[in-house]
Amino acid sequence: MTIPETTQLAGRKRARANGLAKSVLRFLVIIVTTYLGLLAVTFFIGRVIPIDPVLAVLGDRAPAHVVERTRELMGFNKPLYVQFYLYVRDALTGNFGTSVLTTNPVMADIRRVFPATLELATFGTIIGSLFGVPLGVLAAVKRGSIADQIVRVVGLVGYSVPIFWLALLSLLLFYAKLRWVAFPGRIDIVYEYSFTPVTGLYLIDSFWQGQWDVFRDVFRHIILPASLLGYFSLAYISRMTRSFMLNELSQEYIVAARAKGLSETRIIWGHALRNAAVPLVTVIALSYAGLLEGSVLTETVFAWPGLGLYITNSLQNADMNAVLGGTIVIGSVFIAINILSDLLYRTLDPRTRAR
């Protein structure tokens, strides 16, 4: 290799390294800015709502000097920018204060209830993906047919029907009438004190420990709320899958594949869906994040002891430390899932790595 070629190769390597460094820096700036924005929103919400956090702790009948002393200890007498700095510092260390309702540190409560929401949302996303993707493919392949119309109506109903109403009807039918599912809750009281979870994910823990009676009971509790969340996830995933598949099926490489005599099954599942899977990963990730943050009504109707129910009960009792702490955790998870989906998108699509 000549000296000019070596110099040119070294220049390309430096340019590639500089481009990678700029991408990483831009990525980190976006993450930090987004998280600071989340903290700023939750901070100012906690300051503008008509609930005095000091009175929430002490009660309305506390003496004035005690109220002022507590306000000083909690830092509410400091300037607003100092309060925000202290709020960000505590949030970054996982310190969200103490819950008025449970008298426990808020982070300890969140660690206790979040696995229930995680398990429910994960199960719902799996159901939504397993049924939503094939239905979307079917609707795209049979565009304009009866099958397409049925899939679109199913998706429309999933978007239109309030989830709490469908949850109540499901309880009436599958629990009260047919007795196919268990009573609302996460586990029967018979097993609640004899079963010792490790990860907090009851299905995985009971399966790993070989407690099949507990596994069946947990499954009977989770199947109905997870199916409802899965149905609403299915509505979104099937609609987006149909849109992506229609776009792929109109591309020239599909015409070329048919001209070569490839089977329709291989063209649809091996070529079109493979390319549609790149943006579909982002859709499924966003659907998963939506279930993690939007399962409040489902958890309330089914008495599911997750983060949504925890935040609802805290809000009803003016426990703002718990409400804001739970909101920050949900927002952080949403940001993390978006980052992960973006990384997966860049990994699956070589064109984005070239930018």
| DSSP for residue 318 | T
Q: What is the mean pLDDT of residues 324-336?
A: 85
Q: Tell me how far apart the alpha carbons of residues 147 and 346 are, in angstroms, rounded to a whole number.
A: 34
For residue 316, give Cα distances in angstroms to 41, 48, 178, 309, 322: 20, 17, 34, 11, 11
Phi-psi region of 317 (alpha: psi -120 to 50; beta: other; left: phi over 0): alpha
105: which strand partners?
Answer: 98
Instruction: Please report the pLDDT score of residue 216 as a whole number.
Output: 94
pLDDT band at 12 (very low <50, low <70, confident <90, very high): low
Residue 244 has pLDDT above 80, yes or no: yes
306: nearest Cα among 334, 329, 340, 286: 329
Per-residue pLDDT of 171-224, as tens digits, reads 898 988 888 888 888 999 888 888 889 889 999 999 999 999 999 999 999 999
pLDDT band at 18 (very low <50, low <70, confident <90, very high): low
Give the residue with greater pLDDT, 332 vs 57: 332
Burial class (CB in 10 A: 0-12, 13-18, 19+), 205: buried
What's the angle, vertex CA 127, arms to CA 278 and CA 196, rounded to 5? 115
| 143 three-state secondary structure | coil
Which residue matches tokens 């409560």? 109
| DSSP for residue 272 | I
pLDDT band at 144 (very low <50, low <70, confident <90, very high): confident
Instruction: Please report the pLDDT score of residue 15 as a whole number.
Output: 65
Phi-psi region of 187 (alpha: psi -120 to 50; beta: other; left: phi over 0): beta
Are 148 and 164 in contact by the 8 Å Cβ rule? The answer is no
What's the angle, vertex CA 307, arms to CA 228 and CA 106, rounded to 5? 180
Per-residue pLDDT of 282-327, as tens digits, reads 889 888 888 887 678 888 889 899 988 898 888 877 788 888 888 8
Q: What are the two backbone dihedrals, phi and then psi, of residue 98, each rounded to the nearest 5 degrees? A: -110, 140
Per-residue pLDDT of 41-69, as tens digits, reads 888 877 777 666 676 666 667 777 777 78
| Domain-wise residue ranges, the chain | 3-92, 106-353
Q: What is the mean pLDDT of residues 238-247?
A: 92
Instruction: Please report the pLDDT score of residue 313 as a whole number.
Output: 86
Stated pTM of the model: 0.83
Instruction: Please report the pLDDT score of residue 86 as a whole number.
Output: 84
HSE (side-chain half, CA atoms, 13 Å) at 40: 7
Residue 239 has pLDDT above 70, yes or no: yes
Give me the helices (H) in the chain, please.
Answer: 3-48, 53-58, 64-73, 80-92, 106-141, 146-160, 163-170, 189-192, 202-208, 212-249, 252-259, 264-265, 273-294, 296-301, 307-316, 320-348, 350-353
Q: Tell me how far apart the alpha carbons of residues 235 and 221 are, in angstroms, rounded to a whole number.
A: 23
Residues 6+ apart with CB under 8 A from 188: 182, 217, 221
Instruction: Please report the pLDDT score of residue 127 as a whole number.
Output: 94
Which residue matches tokens 């018979």? 190
Residues 6+ apart with CB under 8 A from 329: 110, 114, 307
Q: Indicate the class that CATH gives domain 106-353.
A: mainly alpha
